[in-house]
Chains A and B, each alone.
Chain A
């Protein structure tokens, strides 16, 4: 079985800044893998390397069996950024259809399906400009889903949305994982991380530890994930 994501000593330097500093990680099929770390720990750079928006300074990022950047692989990858990244002057449906078309296309039924998945049936014909922040975020997720990707790379997808919608988002994620989609989700919120199947703890461009929440707690010998993170961080400093 090939792993959806394998990186080997992956590095990305911006001048003197080592944004990603030699990361080895493995993501298993059908799991929700959380990238947990404070702001500036390299989460976004790592995801951009995985999606091929950045070229590694050194090392390897193998996504769905292909070294990135690789354009062809992207037809099976869904990507969502922190900012909306939608066309304000197009409708919800038009945005979804457009991004799906870029990735090989989706028929009308599929577009309806993802619109239903994110509960936007009533606003499908509305211009994105007229939507609330949460609705834009849901549209953005739908755009990443319409072409039935096998792998979803989501960069802080729940940042800036209310707790209620956040819970809804996590129910979407779980449903997708149950359907066999692999998800990589970055976050700096601990309670969110607890919902992931496995976690990679990131700090200063390095992977401090990797494993399920209980594994990480056991490894660090702490009661909470937060304490575990701090324990690993101390270890990294020593």
Chain B
């Protein structure tokens, strides 16, 4: 082993990297960029949960403590924390308000609530949940249970109703879901975003690398010396790579549906259309990105700038509504946001084209915009 040679090699490698200013800048700024987004998201307090309340509790007269309305007490406890925003509702508008997103859950406090509790020291509360986001459903259920337990503990402590919190399970929550439902497990809920992210990522890489190879092997210059124009090149690439993108989309979808056997509602064909549109966005984004890269290495550097933020901000792990306002603005520019929304609407809510077309229109618009930008930024002078 010759240390001099190793030293010379190391020096050469360092020199090469330093000469690529962008790589150095990226080494410094890319982690900061990604960390900053993650930090903001992890710290962000979730927005208050909108909970519909139907309180029909008639209350009871207690021998020693006089009137007691358990329903009103639970509602007060729920209102105390900073968790819920309570919305009084009527029986007949439960599903309607859940559907239009005015509330994420509805707690029903029946007329005989206080009476039943006095009799049995145990109640079962009906909680109707929107259901398409399992982490929200779990959160709402847990917080409602917590508030009810706290109410009963308070009752027992005040002596108004001895033994109020003594039953093993004083509260049971009977949760029902408007969408999806109990047969859906966590995988079913994350599958839509998983599919979308994979499709976008692989297609982006495939496009970048094949486009960059055109430049590095010198054929791009030769291509520019023919009558073919830039929009034709972009469309040709889109068609050629698009075919493989569609093949990949089909593989991802069919594998998740048939092999992993996720539960989903809605039509498989519509899912294919959504992911295919997103894949087209990936192709066009790849073409655009390659215009700003000289080497394959520089293309890989676009991943922390273009792909990771989409994973963080595109409604994948964090709900957009829970993000700070400035990040919400960024999230609305992420194509994956719209794909995720459409996929969730179809897979978890069973919605059709009539409901999801605005998201598809945005996706198609983004794909077209990237196509034009890709053609405009393609450098003639290589």
When distances are taken between beta carbons in the complex, the residues of chain A under 8 Å from B225 are 51-53, 74, 77, 79
CA gap between A85 and B228 in the complex, in Å: 16
B232 nearest CB neighbor, chain A only: A102
Is the pair A103, B221 in contact by a Cβ cutoff of 8 Å?
Answer: no
Q: Find chain A residues with CB under 8 A from B218 CB.
A: 81, 83-85
Report the nearest B residue to A54, measured CB to CB: B381
CB of B61 within 8 Å of the partner chain: no
In A68-116, the 8 Å CB interface with B consists of: 69, 71-72, 74-75, 77, 79, 81, 83-88, 99, 102-104
Of residues B219, B380, B382, which shows the largest number of chain A Cβ atoms within 10 Å of its Cβ? B219
Q: How many A-B residue pairs have CB under 8 A?
A: 51
Residue of A nearest to B380 (CB): A53
| Contact between chains at B217 and A74 (CB < 8 Å) | no
Query: What is the interface size of chain A, counting residues whose CB is below 8 A from a CB of the partner?
Result: 24
Complex Cα distance, B218 from A74, in Å, reads 18
In the complex, the answer to whether B227 meets A81 with C-beta atoms within 8 Å is no
The complex places the Cα of A55 from the Cα of B380 at a distance, in Å, of 9
Contact A85 B227 (CB under 8 A): no
B307, CB-defined interface residue at 8 Å = no
Interface size on B, residues (CB 8 A): 15
A86 adjacent to B228 (CB under 8 Å): no
Question: B305 near A: Cβ within 8 Å?
Answer: no
| Bound-complex Cα distance A69 to B221 (A) | 14
Given contacts A53-B381, A85-B222, A102 and B228 within 8 Å (CB-CB)? yes
Chain B CB count within 10 A is highest, among A54, A55, A99, A102, for: A102
A86 engages B227 (CB within 8 Å): no
Max count, chain A CB within 10 A of own CB: residue among B226, B227, B228, B229:
B226
Contacting B at CB under 8 A, from A37-57, are: 51-55
- Return chain A residues, CB-CB under 8 Å to B252: none
B224 interfacial by beta-carbon distance below 8 Å: yes
List A contacts of B224 (CB < 8 A).
Answer: 53
Q: Which residue of B lies closest to A85 (CB)?
A: B218
Of listed B218, B225, B382, residue having the most chain A CB within 10 A: B225
Q: Considering only CB atoms, which chain A residue lies closest to B222 in the complex?
A: A85
Contact between B226 and A74 (Cβ–Cβ < 8 Å)?
A: yes
Given A75-B226, A103-B226: 6 more A-B contacts, CB < 8 Å: A53-B224, A54-B381, A74-B226, A86-B217, A88-B217, A102-B226
